[in-house]
Amino acid sequence: MSTDRYQKGLDKLKELTVPTEHKPTGHMDIGEAYAEVAPDLQRIIVEFAFGDIYARPGLDNKQKVLTTISALVAQGTPQIGMHVVTGLNVGLTPDEIASCIVHLIPYVGFPRALTALKVAQEVFAEQGVKVESSAS
């Protein structure tokens, strides 16, 4: 059963990322850096987060990633950038991502939203994309 969960998680990861020759999970950090102190972390992340949660029906990939970005903005965590890249990979526009973060201001506060917008701005620059709409 565990092997099936792991493969299901890897398959979902491949939908969300752009795999490279040297990194089958693309830009997504799935715990490789912690192998020395938590050797089973990668398996847990792949099986649980992607095999069980991201692979669930009910939301499409865009909705799942936008929900993830919103939760990370609310928490103020450094993984925001990684998931902004994922959002672009699954078809979210820079406008949708930026608008989502601005929409969160009354719920998470200016500091967290501004930090997230800065991260998004950096990702957009790295990816060569920009926000097209202008708010009124």
pTM of the model: 0.88
- pLDDT tens sequence across 43-76: 999 999 999 999 999 999 999 999 999 999 999 9
Please say whether the beta carbons of 104 and 70 come within 8 A.
yes
Work out the number of other CB atoms within 10 angstroms of the CB of residue 120.
24
Task: Give the side-chain half-sphere CA count within 13 A for 126.
Answer: 12
- pLDDT tens sequence across 81-126: 999 999 999 999 999 999 999 999 999 999 999 999 999 999 999 9
